[in-house]
């Protein structure tokens, strides 16, 4: 391909070698206005859309594949915008925006095979999209009408998990099961920079390493855990923690969809081939509020937000597609039209979701009958019956 630069061959081992030494890193260190120095990371696409080759993470994409990554990112950004709007209009109780994290989620999500199992947090709308979970299902969860989810086994995508970090333990347990069943699929656990301070995540690292489980730990370091900056969360770069647990860790430019795809593919292959866990730190930024209940202007500067806007993952990929002549206006218009149709569909789909029977919430608490649940169900049933008497 034309117009590519290359970084020198890394002397450090590739993740596939199973070494616990420092994993290969991509390129120069940069400084951003108003921010601490950015460390090195693996990057295949610069913010201005220039393609860089990395010897340890080769990636060849057809025009169609490159365009489909753009399409996915635009569509999930639209899903996200609708989620925020629906919450503001009183149709959802809450929404957790993925704005700015589209490349980390679509890049890693597209690396997954259908039989790979993903364990998300509450912000992985892009991964859900890649796994084939309907956005209306996500809206239903935030509308409070589907008892928190969907069938995890339909798409190998677990329920959203709000209890910070706990899904990493579930992922390791699941991966140990895959291992014992003799399967060749991999498991991926998503979590945030804040979650990395949670004991569950560190316990998951220990178990994953001890049992050599086929699990990829994918941390989206979006620089904030609600109002806590990363500077208060770790003294050394997050990906370096992996070495202490005995598996490789890499940091990738989380706003570069190509790099996220290539690095996650390598990590999944590492896990599938019996070499155990790997940690990926996707260095990205949460452009919006933590959730619709949050006001980020109270704890971060607009200069910081603006400096990240210049690294927008969608603008970056579009710059690349234009630079290389891999997409034209007809394509961009078709994606915008598709986004409009999707927005209309998911809005009407969300509003049409039926309210559940209030008693249905007791059905999925325990596999077997539980005395306390039985008592609470009876109490609520009696309480609800009081209203129908009043009406009649």
Ligand X SMILES: Cc1ncc(C[n+]2csc(CCOP(=O)(O)OP(=O)(O)O)c2C)c(N)n1
CA dihedral sign of residues 33, 34, 40, 41:
negative
Token code pair at residue 357: 């029977």
Print the binding letters for residues 138-177 with Mg ion: x by CB under 5 A, - otherwise. Answer: ----------------------------------------
58 burial via Cβ count (<10 Å: 0-12, 13-18, 19+):
exposed
Number of helices (H), then strands (E), belonging to the chain: the values are 13, 9
Q: Is 170 or 318 the residue whose CB approaches ligand X more closely?
A: 170
Shortest separation between residue 286's beta carbon and ligand X, angstroms: 6
Nearest-approach distance from CB 226 to Mg ion, in angstroms? 8
Angle between helices 135-143 and 63-88 (to 10 degrees): 20
Is 224 a binding residue for ligand X by CB under 6 A? The answer is yes
What minimum distance in Å lies between the beta carbon of 124 and ligand X? 9
Q: Does 226 bind ligand X (CB under 6 A)?
A: yes
Structure tokens given for 270: 């590492």
Please report whether residue 24 would count as binding ligand X according to CB under 6 A.
no
Active site residue 290: yes
List the catalytic residue out of 290, 316, 318, 326.
Answer: 290
193 lies in the site for ligand X, by CB under 6 A: yes
Contact status: 225 vs ligand X (CB under 6 A)? yes
Concerning whether 251 is annotated as a catalytic residue, the answer is no
Q: Which two structure tokens, joined as six digits, stand for 141?
A: 């969860």
- Using alpha carbons, select from 240, 253, 215 the residue that is nearest to residue 100: 253
Distances (CA, A) of 379 to 103, 168, 364, 367, 386: 47, 36, 17, 20, 11
**Spatial separation of the C-alpha atoms in residues 381 and 378, rounded to whole Å:** 5
φ/ψ of 189, rounded to 5, equals: -115, 120
Contacts with Mg ion by CB under 5 A: the residue count is 5
- Could you say which of 25, 137, 179, 222 contacts ligand X (CB under 6 A)? 222
Stretch that binds ligand X, among 49-57, 171-179, 188-196, 265-273 (CB under 6 A): 188-196
Cβ closest to ligand X, residue 123 vs residue 318:
123
Tokens of residue 255, six digits: 């706003």
Which is nearer to ligand X, 192 or 254 (by Cβ)?
Answer: 192
102-111 vs 63-88: helix crossing angle, rounded to 10: 130
**Which among 46-54, 218-226, 258-266, 317-325 is the span making contact with ligand X, rule CB under 6 A?**
218-226
Pick out residues in 41-80 that bind Mg ion (CB under 5 A).
none
Residue at shortest CB range from Mg ion: 192
Stretch that binds Mg ion, among 216-224, 246-254, 290-298, 311-319 (CB under 5 A): 216-224
Helices (H), the chain: 63-88, 102-111, 125-131, 135-143, 152-155, 166-180, 199-210, 241-245, 257-270, 302-309, 313-323, 329-351, 371-391
| Partners of 53 in the β-ladder | 6
CA distance 294 to 123: 14
Minimum CB distance to Mg ion smaller for 194 or for 214: 194
For the CB of residue 111, give the shortest distance to Mg ion in the complex, in Å.
Answer: 21
Q: From 260, 172, 247, 152, select the one nearest 215 (Cα to Cα).
A: 172
Name the residue with the smallest CB distance to ligand X.
Answer: 192
Determine, following the binding rule CB under 6 A, whether residue 326 of this chain makes contact with ligand X.
no
Does 162 bind ligand X (CB under 6 A)? Our answer is yes
Question: Which of 83, 135, 192, 214 is the binder for Mg ion (CB under 5 A)?
Answer: 192
Binding mask 32-71 for ligand X (x = CB under 6 A): ----------------------------------------
Is 286 part of the annotated catalytic residue set? yes
Rg over alpha carbons for the chain, rounded to the nearest Å, is: 22
Site residues (vs Mg ion, CB under 5 A): 192-194, 222, 225
Catalytically active residues, by annotation: 286, 290, 299
Site residues (vs ligand X, CB under 6 A): 123, 162-164, 192-195, 222, 224-226, 286, 290
């Amino acid at each position: 391909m034309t117009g590519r630069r290359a970084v020198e061959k890394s002397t450090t081992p590739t993740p596939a070698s199973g070494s616990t030494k420092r994993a290969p890193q991509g390129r120069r260190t940069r400084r951003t206005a108003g921010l601490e120095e950015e460390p090195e990371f693996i990057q295949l696409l610069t913010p201005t859309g220039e393609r860089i080759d990395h010897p340890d993470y080769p990636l060849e994409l057809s025009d169609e594949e490159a365009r489909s990554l753009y399409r996915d990112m635009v569509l999930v950004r639209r899903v996200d915008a609708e989620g925020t709007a629906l919450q503001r209009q009183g149709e959802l109780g809450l929404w957790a925006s993925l704005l700015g994290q589209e490349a980390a989620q679509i890049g890693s999500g597209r690396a997954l095979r259908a039989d790979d199992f993903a364990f998300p947090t509450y912000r992985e709308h892009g991964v859900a999209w890649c796994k084939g979970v309907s956005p209306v299902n996500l809206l239903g969860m935030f509308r409070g009408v589907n008892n928190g989810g969907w069938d995890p086994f339909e798409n190998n995508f677990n329920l959203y998990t709000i209890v910070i970090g706990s899904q990493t333990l579930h992922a390791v347990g699941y991966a140990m099961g895959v291992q014992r069943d003799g399967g060749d699929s991999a498991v991926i656990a998503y979590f945030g920079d804040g979650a990395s301070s949670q004991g569950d995540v560190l316990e998951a690292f220990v178990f994953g390493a001890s049992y050599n489980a086929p699990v990829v730990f994918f941390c989206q370091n979006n620089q904030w855990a609600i109002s806590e900056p990363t500077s208060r969360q770790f003294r050394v770069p997050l990906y370096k923690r992996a070495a202490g647990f005995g598996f490789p860790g890499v940091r990738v430019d989380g706003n570069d969809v190509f790099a996220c795809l290539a690095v996650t593919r390598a990590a999944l292959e590492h896990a599938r081939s019996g070499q155990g866990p790997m940690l990926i730190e996707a260095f990205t930024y949460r452009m919006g509020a933590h959730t619709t209940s949050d006001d980020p202007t109270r704890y971060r500067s607009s200069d910081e937000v603006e400096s990240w806007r210049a690294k927008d993952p969608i603008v970056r990929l579009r710059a690349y597609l234009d630079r290389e002549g891999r997409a034209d206006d007809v394509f961009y218009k078709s994606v915008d039209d598709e986004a409009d149709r999707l927005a209309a569909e998911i809005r009407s789909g969300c509003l049409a979701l039926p309210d559940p029977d209030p008693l249905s919430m007791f059905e999925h608490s325990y596999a077997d009958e539980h005395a306390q649940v039985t008592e609470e169900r009876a109490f609520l049933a009696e309480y609800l019956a009081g209203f129908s008497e009043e009406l009649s």
